[in-house]
């Protein structure tokens, strides 16, 4: 009896030690993964805060070797930067709001098999997913004929309905208990009331997920500015930053040792790498500031959207 009790205690100790060993190994793995994910941000920040000329020598991995804010000074002194930031913020706020609203409404139609145009719209939907998205020239001609060329709406209208977002919304909406929606209809609620009063409040995770996706895309986009606008008043923050990088790279290709008056009439020699890293920090910070507020909804929304079908 005593030997059995001793054996049970030994097994319990072995199990506890095994659990502790497993937790220790798991902790080490998580620390390594965390460092590998955090290091790129540290590297970008270190390069952006290093002296641009000194950056050309290389060898910067963790902290700036010669602390300097020259790259940020070059960016922030750009005369059109403030207005370009306003354009980027405006297109991000308006574009994200309309994309989330109309994509979710369109997705709601695909949860209603009794809708009159359900089958034709579904066929058109899948056709557009596989064969939509024309080339640059047809798209350019289409925007020109629609009056979107050199128009702020070129940042908004083409992205109002995103078919991938529709899939995410539809998948999530189908996971909402049908009894909840039916009960609202029994009480006399129409589809508009059901969508805005019942479905939206219980679907915050997917709205936050899609909203974050749409906001990041709108904030980072500059190709539509490059292809579909020539008006300087429509240039976005990312487009201005891209131009600055191209100028610095062009100057470096011509003559590394020559000082060029590239940006503001001042003699500036900015290493393209330092400038690129500083621009990365400036453009990423707003998204990083928004993400913590949406994280709990984002994680739940992306899990439901990927697992349920």
User: What contacts 24+ positions apart, CB below 8 Å, involve 2-11?
Assistant: none
Asked if residue 265 has pLDDT above 50, the reply is no
Q: Which residue has the higher pLDDT, 249 or 70?
A: 70
Total Cβ atoms within 10 A of residue 177: 9
**Cα 264 to Cα 180: distance, rounded to the nearest angstrom:** 61
- Using DSSP, state whether 287 is helix, strand or coil: helix
pTM for the model stands at 0.74
**Cα 174 to Cα 181: distance, rounded to the nearest angstrom:** 11
Q: Provide the 8-state DSSP code for 260.
A: B
Residues β-bridged to residue 67: 50
283 vs 95, 238, 240, 277, CA distance in Å?
18, 8, 12, 10
- What contacts 45, CB < 8 A, 6 or more positions away? 277, 281
Contact between 56 and 271 under an 8 Å Cβ cutoff? The reply is yes
Q: Which two tokens stand for residue 19?
A: 């659990």
Region 56-64 average pLDDT: 79
- Using DSSP, state whether 231 is helix, strand or coil: coil
**Cα 76 to Cα 85: distance, rounded to the nearest angstrom:** 11
Asked if residue 129 has pLDDT above 90, the reply is no
Q: Which two tokens stand for residue 33?
A: 């993964």
Report percent pLDDT > 70 for the chain.
79
Q: What is the pLDDT of residues 145-157, one digit of tens each?
A: 988 999 999 999 9
CA neighbor of 284 nearest in space, from 223, 241, 232, 231: 241
Asked if residue 134 has pLDDT above 70, the reply is no
**Cα 9 to Cα 15: distance, rounded to the nearest angstrom:** 10
Q: Which residue has the higher pLDDT, 253 or 189?
A: 189
215 vs 32, 89, 198, 209, CA distance in Å?
30, 10, 25, 10
Q: What is the pLDDT of residues 188-241, one digit of tens each?
A: 778 888 888 888 888 888 898 899 889 989 998 888 898 998 888 898 988 888
Asked if residue 121 has pLDDT above 70, the reply is yes
Q: Which residue has the higher pLDDT, 6 or 224?
A: 224
Contact between 46 and 64 under an 8 Å Cβ cutoff? The reply is yes
Contact between 78 and 264 under an 8 Å Cβ cutoff? The reply is yes
Q: Which of 94-98, 204-208, 254-258, 271-275 has the lowest mean pLDDT?
A: 254-258
């Amino acid at each position: 009896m005593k030997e059995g009790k001793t054996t049970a205690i030994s097994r319990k100790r072995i199990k506890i030690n095994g659990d502790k060993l497993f937790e220790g190994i798991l902790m080490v793995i998580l620390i390594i993964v965390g460092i590998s994910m955090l290091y790129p941000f540290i590297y970008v920040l270190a390069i952006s805060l290093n002296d641009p000329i000194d950056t050309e020598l290389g060898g910067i991995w963790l902290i700036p070797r010669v602390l300097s804010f020259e790259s940020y000074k070059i960016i922030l002194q750009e005369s059109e930067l403030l207005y370009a930031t306003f354009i980027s913020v405006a297109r991000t706020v308006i574009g994200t709001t309309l994309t989330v609203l109309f994509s979710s409404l369109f997705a709601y139609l695909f949860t209603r098999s009794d809708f009159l145009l359900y089958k034709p719209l579904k066929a058109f939907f899948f056709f557009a997913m596989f064969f939509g998205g024309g080339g640059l020239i047809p798209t350019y001609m289409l925007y020109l004929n629609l009056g979107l060329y050199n128009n702020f709406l070129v940042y908004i209208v083409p992205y109002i309905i995103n078919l991938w977002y529709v899939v995410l919304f539809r998948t999530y909406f189908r996971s909402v208990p049908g009894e909840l929606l039916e009960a609202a209809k029994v009480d006399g609620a129409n589809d508009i009331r059901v969508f805005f009063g019942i479905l939206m409040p219980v679907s915050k995770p997917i709205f936050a997920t899609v909203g974050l996706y749409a906001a990041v895309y709108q904030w980072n986009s500059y190709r539509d500015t490059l292809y579909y606008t020539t008006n300087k008043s429509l240039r976005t923050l990312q487009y201005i930053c891209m131009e600055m990088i191209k100028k610095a790279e062009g100057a470096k290709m011509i003559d590394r040792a020559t000082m060029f008056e590239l940006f503001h009439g001042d003699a500036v020699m900015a290493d393209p790498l330092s400038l690129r890293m500083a621009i990365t920090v400036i453009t990423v910070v707003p998204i990083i500031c928004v993400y913590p507020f949406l994280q709990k909804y984002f994680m739940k929304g992306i899990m439901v959207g990927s697992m349920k079908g």
